[in-house]
């Protein structure tokens, strides 16, 4: 189920068959690469996650989600994009060669957007080496790999590296943008010129390169965000720090932050925030864009802190106190292992 919300972002490319777009997509030329692409591609897996109907994310992302993941160790640990497995009860994994195995959810990290799962037993497939955002620069030729071997690999290029702010209270200080877009982008591996995975596919975006020469493409979460938190994720199933969460969806228009919708019974709705409100201050400090809103919100204290939002409604400025929550309180989270 692919969902399109504000800002032209589609969070799920949930396809597993050969998409018609792939038939005419630019293909990698293995002989021109400085690494063995065919040796890396077996690390790509296909996952299918089953989510309860009463899950918090079910109305937005559906109850069955299919996408890609990448084996990153020899014990069956898989890195994917988190929305594919968030709140999942069961996950089935297709390995290279057509084998199907069960996997368990290890962690879901809302701060980065990563998800981790592990097969119930080790698999005899070489993991893909983990890289970093610094492994790619604007203009670099890259490969975007999905499950299915060479027929599902796409030759692309990095067109920008810049912050990303999503309407769902999510932000990366640096994201990687590529073009052309892969039709099955969720959980794809961005393979850098050095043969390492530089990022995990997250979104289809209409502004991979912005400005007058805007082009569509994919946004990737940098892979180097994982090592600093990996031990914590493996131990607790989530990140240690708890950011204040308002359950408020917003967009940026002409430099203003506008509330587009609210989660039912979430902190912002309970406090009286309404769609159409323009957020102008956080705790008395001026908000300068969506990313700035999140930075100020997350500096206000841990989850549970009360945040004062200055909003303009019907031409009048109002101060509304919102008692934040921990986002994970709303989710069916995996148990620590």
Which residue range is the domain that position 78 belongs to? 1-239
The kind and range of the H/E element at 296 are helix 290-298
pLDDT tens, N- to C-terminus, the chain (337 residues): 233 333 345 554 444 344 555 556 798 999 999 999 999 999 999 999 999 999 999 998 999 999 999 999 999 999 999 999 999 989 999 999 888 999 999 999 999 999 999 998 889 999 999 999 999 999 999 999 999 999 999 999 999 999 999 999 999 999 999 999 999 999 999 999 999 999 999 999 999 987 768 899 999 999 999 999 999 999 999 888 789 999 999 999 888 999 999 999 999 999 999 999 999 999 999 999 999 999 999 999 999 999 999 999 999 999 999 999 999 999 876 544 4
Main-chain dihedrals φ then ψ at residue 18, nearest 5 degrees: -65, 110
Residue 56, C-beta contacts closer than 8 angstroms, at least 6 positions apart: 87, 263, 330, 331, 332
State whether 71 and 101 are in the same domain.
yes
Q: Residues 228-248: pLDDT tens digits? A: 999 999 999 988 878 999 999
**146 and 209 share one domain:** yes
Judge if 198 and 119 occupy the same domain: yes
Per 3-state DSSP, the chain is made up of helix, strand and coil in percentages (nearest 5) of 20, 40, 40
Q: Are residues 171 and 142 in the same domain?
A: yes
CATH at residue 262:
2.30.42.10
Q: Are 13 and 111 in a shared domain?
A: yes
Q: What is the pLDDT of residue 5?
A: 38
The domain that holds 211 is classified in CATH as 2.40.10.120
User: Do residue 219 and residue 249 come from a single domain?
Assistant: no
- Do 275 and 219 belong to one domain? no
**Residue that terminates a domain, selected from 239, 274, 297:** 239
- The answer to whether residue 336 sits within a structural domain is no
Distance CA 9, CA 3 (A): 9
Residue 27: DSSP 8-state: P
């Amino acid at each position: 189920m692919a969902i399109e919300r504000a800002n032209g972002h589609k969070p799920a490319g949930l396809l597993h068959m050969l998409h018609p777009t792939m038939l005419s997509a630019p293909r990698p030329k293995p002989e021109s690469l400085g690494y063995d692409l065919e040796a890396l591609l077996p690390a790509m897996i296909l996952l299918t996650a089953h989510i309860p109907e009463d899950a918090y994310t079910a109305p937005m992302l559906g109850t069955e989600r299919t996408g890609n993941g990448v084996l990153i160790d020899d014990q069956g640990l898989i890195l994917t994009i988190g929305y594919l497995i968030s709140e999942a009860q069961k996950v089935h994994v297709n390995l290279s060669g057509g084998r199907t195995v069960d996997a368990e959810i290890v962690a879901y990290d809302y701060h980065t957007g990563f998800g981790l799962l592990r097969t119930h037993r080790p698999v005899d497939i070489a993991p893909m080496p983990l890289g970093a955002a610094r492994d790619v620069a604007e203009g670099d030729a890259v490969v975007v790999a999905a499950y299915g071997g060479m027929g599902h690999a796409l030759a692309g290029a990095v067109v920008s590296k810049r912050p990303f702010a999503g309407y769902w209270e999510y932000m990366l200080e640096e994201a990687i943008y590529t073009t052309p877009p892969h039709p099955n982008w969720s959980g794809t591996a961005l393979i850098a010129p050095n043969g390492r995975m530089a990022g995990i596919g997250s979104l289809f975006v209409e502004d991979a390169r912005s400005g007058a020469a805007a082009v569509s493409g994919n946004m990737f979460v940098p892979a180097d965000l994982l090592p600093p938190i990996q031990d914590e994720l493996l131990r607790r199933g989530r990140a240690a720090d708890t950011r204040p969460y308002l359950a408020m969806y917003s967009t940026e228009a002409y430099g203003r932050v506008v509330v587009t919708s609210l989660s039912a019974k979430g902190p912002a709705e309970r406090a009286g925030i309404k769609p159409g409100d323009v957020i102008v201050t956080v705790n008395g400090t001026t908000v300068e864009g969506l990313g700035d809103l999140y930075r100020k919100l997350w500096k206000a204290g841990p989850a549970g802190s009360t945040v004062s939002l200055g909003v303009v409604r019907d031409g009048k400025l109002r101060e509304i106190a919102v008692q934040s929550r921990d986002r994970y309180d709303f989710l069916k989270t995996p148990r620590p292992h």
